Amino acid sequence: MLTAIVVGVAGGLGALLRHLVDGALQERPSRIHPGSASVPYGTLVVNVVGSFVMGAVTGAFWYHDLPGRWRSIVGTGLCGGLTTWSTASWETVQLATLGRIGLAVLYALGGMTLAVLGAVAGIALGGAL
Amino acid sequence: MPDAEPVTTEPVTTEPVTTEPVTTEPVPTGLHWAHPRFLTCIIAGGLLGTLGRYELELAWPTPAGHFPLVTFTINTSGAFLLGFLLALLGGSRRPSPYARPFIGTGILGGWTTYSTLVVEATTLGKGGQLGLAAAYLAATLAAGIAAVALGISLGPFGLRRTAAALTSDPLE
């Protein structure tokens, strides 16, 4: 029960961090504005970094007996709040509706590739430390 | 030569007929994007979304080597709801400025997850099931895009008009 609350709070903080990174990396006020469509770097960064960190706690859990509670708090909680699938999908569709099909494909596939590589690297690191 | 009144032509001004473009621009509130009110909304929403996902994962854990149906359902539903939410807000005359940070960035951002997705795929791959891992990623990607499109299409303007509005320059 207490773990659930901590997981939730970690998720809230992860979401906060995502918003702050997004704000720092994106043009304000518009992120995807007609005529200046670009890769949504904020979402990309948090998704890749979050995947790496989640990989790290997963590796530590698998190979170094990290308590499951901490995997839940840092992984499911913090990384789950930090990363987002809904925004990434929305941004992909937006790029496509703006006519930037190639960029949409690059963002979707490139982002996924980087995140998977991040997870693999994270697991390796978590298992090695 | 008689005095001639200078001919002045007053410019004819008429109010241009404008249809509000569907937009996902943040509502101008005068508040900074990192205003504490927005941050509170985001933390609260993120907490709720994350808690929901956590409890669902606990209730229905995916057995090793199986398609992670719970995460897939969570991510796809979140994509749908975000598409629907942003279409609703874009079509609303006076959308609440707190709806997007609370529901979008917060709840749905916490509900959906990229990290769990790719770690689950990597886990499947490490278990020797590269085909299933690739299928999981591909299915999630396809479903996510379709879900966003479906969510937008159920909004006030539908998909085509929303797309058309997004591709038109609002400054013209």
Higher-confidence residue: A81 or B22?
A81
pLDDT of residue B168: 54
Q: Which residues does chain A have within 8 Å of residue B33's beta carbon, measured at their own beta carbons?
A: 23, 28-29
Counting beta carbons within 10 angstroms of the beta carbon of residue B153, is it exposed (0 to 12), middle (13 to 18) or buried (19 or more)? middle
Q: Which residues does chain A have within 8 Å of residue B109's beta carbon, measured at their own beta carbons?
A: 15, 18, 81, 84, 86-87
The answer to whether the Cβ–Cβ distance between B83 and A93 falls below 8 Å is yes
Arithmetic mean of pLDDT, A20-26: 88
Look over chain A and give the mean of its residue pLDDT values, rounded to a whole number: 91
Between chain A and chain B, the number of residue pairs with CB atoms below 8 A apart is: 212
Query: What is the predicted ipTM?
Result: 0.93
Residues of chain B predicted below pLDDT 70: 1-29, 164-172
pLDDT of residue A34: 44
For residue A98, name the pLDDT band (cuts at 50, 70, 90): confident
pLDDT of residue B11: 55
pLDDT of residue B93: 85
Q: What is the pTM of this model?
A: 0.85
CA distance B155 to B1: 68
